[in-house]
Amino acid sequence: MNEVVVPSPAKVNLFLEIIGRRPDGYHDIASIMQLVDLCDEVRLRRRRTGIRVEVQGAELPAGRGNLAYRAAALLLEAAGVEGGVEIHLEKRIPVAGGLGGGSSNAAAVLIGLSRLYGLPWSREALQKLGENLGSDVPFFLGDGLALATGRGEILTPLSAWPPQWLVLANPGLPISTAWAYREASSKLTEWQPRVSIPSFPLGGRPQWPPVWAFNRLESVVLPHRPEILALKHLLQEAGGAPVLMSGSGASVFAVVSDAVSAHQLAAQAEKSGAFAAAVTTLTANPMWEARG
């Protein structure tokens, strides 16, 4: 096999509570994460040596500053592969938008590169390797819906809902995840009691629509970013319910009842100048169906 193409989906945080700061500088969290069908495309081709990254659709670094590059370097070294890889990223997920695009791309590279070189790495082994790249990377190597604890790397798979409609919107400004968590650290003692994860049966899932949706980081990000708050209000006033920021922002998502409502609401958000997309939740991770 000389080439493999991997779909690289976005995620939304349907629930995100920050439990506390860890000695290693990360934060313990409780989150419910869901894959959606807004996808980047990651195309990998064999090279005799070295790693080369090309990016279309966003301004991102091509070297070690790109998480996809670091994912390739990590797997090639860990597996003892002498060959290299050319990585082409076609970006559709907003960058630094709380939708996990960079982590998803890194996971796609781990899966695609293992296919490209016929490596006998299990899903669990790739997830363990992915922990070295970022807290969200192991989630993108799992299934479509999971409870994430620890710093995000401890995953409990949940039974998938049938596809549900959401609208994703982004006002076009990046948010630094590191900044958002630094802001959160200064307020941890104020957040008492913590919001509890919604209850669900063992091996089950919380109810839909997610009236239980919650994101602790809204309280530190929205006061500094009125553009996100305005976009959230627009989606709420147009009928989205609930409407919530995903991750550290700047993207927000609105739950809607059907495809017609989703496309109408996305069109309305676009008229305000925002990026917007009507999407559905995924019942399984499409990365594992990567094609050669």
According to DSSP, residue 100 is labeled -
Q: Is the pLDDT of residue 231 over 70?
A: yes
Q: Is the pLDDT of residue 133 over 90?
A: yes
Instruction: Count other Cβ atoms within 10 Å, centred on residue 192.
Output: 6
Mean pLDDT of the region 234-258: 98
Percent of the chain at pLDDT > 90 equals 88
State the catalytic residue, choosing from 11, 40, 91, 143: 11
Pick the range with the lowest mean pLDDT from 12-26, 34-48, 89-103, 197-211.
197-211
Identify the residue with better confidence: 128 or 25: 128
Tokens describing residue 46: 């064999």
In which band, very low, low, confident or very high, does the pLDDT at 291 lie, cut at 50, 70 and 90? confident
- CB proximity list for 99: less than 8 A, separation 6 or greater: 10, 11, 12, 38, 93, 168, 246, 247, 251
**Residues 158-188 pLDDT 10s:** 999 999 999 999 999 999 999 999 999 888 8
Instruction: Count other Cβ atoms within 10 Å, centred on residue 110.
Output: 29
Sign of the Cα pseudo-torsion (93, 97, 102, 103, in order): negative
Q: Is the pLDDT of residue 257 over 80?
A: yes
**Residues 106-124 pLDDT 10s:** 999 999 999 999 999 999 9
How far apart CA 148 and CA 160 sit, in angstroms, is 15
Look at residue 203 in the predicted model and tell me its pLDDT: 67
Q: Is the pLDDT of residue 202 over 70?
A: no
Asked if 11 is an active-site residue, the reply is yes
In which band, very low, low, confident or very high, does the pLDDT at 206 lie, cut at 50, 70 and 90? confident
Look at residue 198 in the predicted model and tell me its pLDDT: 82
Q: Is the pLDDT of residue 55 over 70?
A: yes
Q: Is the pLDDT of residue 191 over 90?
A: no
From the number of C-beta atoms within 10 Å of its C-beta (0-12, 13-18, 19+), residue 15 rates as: buried
Q: Is the pLDDT of residue 274 over 90?
A: yes
Q: What pTM, to 2 d.p., does this model score?
A: 0.96
Look at residue 193 in the predicted model and tell me its pLDDT: 81
Look at residue 189 in the predicted model and tell me its pLDDT: 83
The chain-wide mean pLDDT, for the chain, equals 95
Phi-psi label, residue 172: left if phi above 0, alpha if psi -120 to 50, beta otherwise: left
State the catalytic residue, choosing from 91, 136, 143, 232: 136
Identify whether the C-beta of residue 69 lies closer than 8 Å to the C-beta of residue 35.
no
By C-alpha distance, which of 171, 272, 268 is closest to 228?
171
How far apart CA 82 and CA 247 sit, in angstroms, is 37
Asked if 28 is an active-site residue, the reply is no
Mean pLDDT of the region 147-154: 94
Domains defined for the chain, CATH in brackets: 3-158 (3.30.230.10), 165-280 (3.30.70.890)
